[in-house]
């Protein structure tokens, strides 16, 4: 039987009040899913706030690496996801590809002792664990600059995975030299070596889109996420993580026009007027959108039936090193 969203919401509220569960939703979730979240936020906020929450179950509405990060930081919690949808960027680097990236640096004469790996939180627990085991740490788009600044003090080469755009954008902001692994650059001549991953959603924004909006509304501001290409970030007025974008946009004068380059669901609920999507193609994250209200209901019902579905499990070794990599970030 098919239920309407209103009926599903009522059923979800009944189950939530009965079960020892906290529902967590990322900003990029569909509106109706976002609305049933007890804790909402960006990936860093969600991982840290769920750690301080004492419910037995966390139901995470987001993408796979986010649910994994909660489990890694809080191994005693039972983490379930309505859909274990894999972020396209996170799936661009496997443990084997990470090892190959390290080997290419070794072939250029850079030994492991001289590599400090940093992984964007948008990566699997397996990759985080490899980074942790090599003495490295995790960053998010909100703290990447601070993490890189601290890491540089060790005087090592930084291997930044998987997002080449975030790595290059931070390098540009800090006047550091960067390259993308495999682009033919001399690895010894740069400070940050970026893996060649990217977010397909954030690649949708183009210089033509920026030129279009600037011509149409000369006073408009352009605000984008640092997963956009460096050429887009350089041509924008503000570059920030999801939380930073929310703060910037909601604090603007209501009459100030702004065109935003990040995921559609978040932008569409930010501000009632004068906010535009910086692309003629709807920038929806397909994997974030996989989670429906019906999935949320069915996942709660499975807990109530005593047979939880889509539970996150992480082996002990991965758990140990991924936690170390995440905690090194949180310590900063
Ligand atoms: P945040 O870390 O800002 O939540 O972003 C995650 C993400 O996937 C952006 O595309
Ligand atoms: Fe991953 Fe991009 Fe979706 Fe963010 S928007 S979850 S980086 S695919």
The answer on 255 and 164 residing in a single domain is no
pLDDT at residue 44, as a whole number: 83
Rg of the chain in Å (alpha carbons): 20
Residue 324 lies in a domain: no
- Distance (Å, whole) CA 27 – CA 243: 9
How far is ligand 1, taken at its centre, from the CA of residue 26, in Å?
Answer: 8
Q: Is residue 48 part of a domain?
A: yes
In a domain, 320, yes or no: no
Q: What is the per-residue pLDDT for 2?
A: 85
Ligand 1 centre to CA of 120 (Å) is 10
Which pLDDT value is given to residue 16? 97
Residue where one domain finishes, among candidates 153, 175, 198: 198
CA of 87 to the centre of ligand 2 (A): 5
> Does the structure show a pLDDT above 80 at 262?
yes
For the Cβ of 22 lying below 6 angstroms from any atom of ligand 2, the answer is no
Whether 165 lines ligand 2, by a CB cut-off of 6 Å, is no
Percent of the chain past pLDDT 70, that is, above it, reads 100
Q: What's the pLDDT at 48?
A: 87
Within this chain, do residues 213 and 303 fall inside the same structural domain, yes or no? no
CATH value at residue 120: 3.40.50
Whether residue 76 is found in the same domain as residue 111: no
Ligand 1 centroid – CA 308 distance (Å): 27
Q: Is residue 318 part of a domain?
A: no
Give the mutation target among 87, 169, 284 for probing the ligand 2 site: most ligand atoms within 8 A of CB.
87
Ligand 1 centre to CA of 190 (Å) is 26
**Residues 147 and 231 grouped into a single domain:** no
In a domain, 234, yes or no: yes
Task: Say if ligand 1 is within 6 A of residue 140 CB.
Answer: yes
Residue 68 forms part of a structural domain: yes
CB-ligand 1 contact for 138 (6 Å cutoff): no
Amino acid 47: pLDDT: 82
So what's the pLDDT on residue 196?
Answer: 98
Ligand 1 nearest-atom number relative to CA 199: 10
With respect to residue 330, please indicate whether it lies within any of the assigned structural domains.
no
Domain finish residue from 198, 229, 246: 198
**Quick one: pLDDT at residue 106?**
98
pLDDT at position 321 is: 98
In a domain, 215, yes or no: yes
Alpha carbon of 153 to ligand 2 centroid (Å): 30
What pLDDT, on a 0 to 100 scale, did the predictor assign at position 1? 62
Question: Looking at the structure, do residues 94 and 172 belong to the same domain, yes or no?
Answer: yes
Please, what's the b/e burial string for 235-261 (b: 16 or more CB within 10 A of its CB; e: otherwise)?
bbebbbbbbbbbebbeebeeeebbbbb
Q: Is the pLDDT of residue 204 over 90?
A: yes
pTM of the model: 0.95
Among 149, 169, 198, the domain-final residue is 198
Residue-averaged pLDDT of the chain: 96
User: How many domains, the chain?
Assistant: 3
**Domain limits for position 135:** 90-198
pLDDT of residue 52: 87
- Provide the pLDDT for residue 330: 93
What are the tens digits of pLDDT across the range 131-148?
999 999 999 998 999 999
The verdict on 118 and 192 lying in the same domain is yes
């Amino acid at each position: 039987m098919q239920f309407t969203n209103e009926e599903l919401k009522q059923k979800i509220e009944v189950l939530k009040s009965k079960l020892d569960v906290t529902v967590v939703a990322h900003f990029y979730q569909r509106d109706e899913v976002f609305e049933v979240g007890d804790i909402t936020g960006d990936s860093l906020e969600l991982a840290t706030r769920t750690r301080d929450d004492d419910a037995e179950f966390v139901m995470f509405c987001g993408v796979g690496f986010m649910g994994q990060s909660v489990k890694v930081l809080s191994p005693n919690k039972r983490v379930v996801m309505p859909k274990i949808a894999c972020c396209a960027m996170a799936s661009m680097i496997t443990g084997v590809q990470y090892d190959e990236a390290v080997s290419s640096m070794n072939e250029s004469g850079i030994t492991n002792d001289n590599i400090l790996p940093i992984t964007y939180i948008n990566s699997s627990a397996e990759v985080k664990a490899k980074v942790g085991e090599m003495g490295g740490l995790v960053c998010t788009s909100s703290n990447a600059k601070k993490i890189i600044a601290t890491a540089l003090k060790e005087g090592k080469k930084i291997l930044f995975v998987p997002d080449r755009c975030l790595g290059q954008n931070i390098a540009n902001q800090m006047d550091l030299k960067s390259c993308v692994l495999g682009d033919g650059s001399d690895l010894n001549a740069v400070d940050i070596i970026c893996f060649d991953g990217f977010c397909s959603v954030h690649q949708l924004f183009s210089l033509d889109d920026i030129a279009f909006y600037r011509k149409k509304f000369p006073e408009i501001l352009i605000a984008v996420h640092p997963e956009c290409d460096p050429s887009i970030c350089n041509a924008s007025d503000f570059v920030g993580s999801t939380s930073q974008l929310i703060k910037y946009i909601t604090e603007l004068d209501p009459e100030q026009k702004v065109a935003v380059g990040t995921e559609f669901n978040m932008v569409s609920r930010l501000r009632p007027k004068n906010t535009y999507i910086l692309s003629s193609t709807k920038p929806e994250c397909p994997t974030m959108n996989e989670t429906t209200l019906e999935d949320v209901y069915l996942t709660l019902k499975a807990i109530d039936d005593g047979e939880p579905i889509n539970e996150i499990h992480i082996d002990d070794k991965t758990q140990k090193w991924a936690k170390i990599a995440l905690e090194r970030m949180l310590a900063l």
